Amino acid sequence: MYIYQVEISNFCNLTCSYCPHPSQSRAKGNMSFSTFVDVVELAIECGQKNLYLNNFGEPLLHPELLEFISYAKAKGIECNFITNGILFDEAIAWRLSELGMRDIYLSEHLVGQKERIQEMLKENSIPLSIVYTYNPHQQEKHDWAGQVATKTRSTRTLTSSIQEYKPCIFETKKRVVVLWDGSINTCCIDVNGTGIVGSVKDYLGRTNEYEFNSIPLCSTCDLMREE
């Protein structure tokens, strides 16, 4: 078992038409500190040295994000996250740098955030830099395995091509996503939680017992396939 990412919040300050988040049926919430403590313990048992605190939702909406990062760091786990950048301000930037972060991962759903953040960092000599930017307005969109209407290829072509791909890395490397309520999901794009296979507490001390099980989305998903 390996924790691919941790959904500390599945609230979002955007409602992008190309994202399945606005129509998700599972409950929304913020991860509790006690659940995050369990997540860190599970990560340690998995032999991990880092965690990414994002899945569906905007991490900066969590009021204890900085406390989470500080706690994990004290336990030997470095954290980072992907943000849409809207809430990223000077105070947060300074605090993240004080916690040892140097890299920013940006998903620029609102045009102009990259330039705004870069200028802010430069003007204030904050030792952070944007090392990755995903711009959905310029890059090819996918349909989240059929979870949104926008498609870039036909279902027939997609289905036939999937049969030629190797298994998803979530299967071959036993990766999982931890949702905000502590649930373990076997899939990184499953917005509604159909791939939930238990909770963090279920696997504490038993990480070797986790087994990947495919879900219906697997038959229409061409993401995260090993080449």
In a domain, 157, yes or no: yes
In a domain, 182, yes or no: yes
Q: Which domain holds residue 46?
A: 2-83+140-220
In a domain, 111, yes or no: no
In a domain, 192, yes or no: yes
Instruction: Give pLDDT tens digits along the chain (227 positions).
Output: 999 999 999 999 999 888 898 888 999 999 999 999 999 999 999 999 999 999 999 999 999 999 999 999 999 999 999 999 999 999 999 999 999 999 999 999 999 999 999 999 999 999 999 998 888 877 777 788 889 876 554 444 555 455 566 888 999 999 999 999 999 999 999 999 999 999 999 999 999 999 999 999 998 888 888 75
The domain total for the chain is 1
In a domain, 145, yes or no: yes
Residue 164 contacts residue 147 (beta carbons within 8 Å): no
Q: What is the pTM of this model?
A: 0.91
In a domain, 116, yes or no: no
For position 51, which CATH number holds?
3.20.20.70
In a domain, 115, yes or no: no
**Collapsed DSSP state (helix, strand, coil) of residue 88:** coil
Q: Considering only CA atoms, which of 93, 120, 112 is closest in space to residue 104?
A: 93
Residue 22 contacts residue 47 (beta carbons within 8 Å): no
Distance (Å, whole) CA 3 – CA 40:
10
In a domain, 30, yes or no: yes
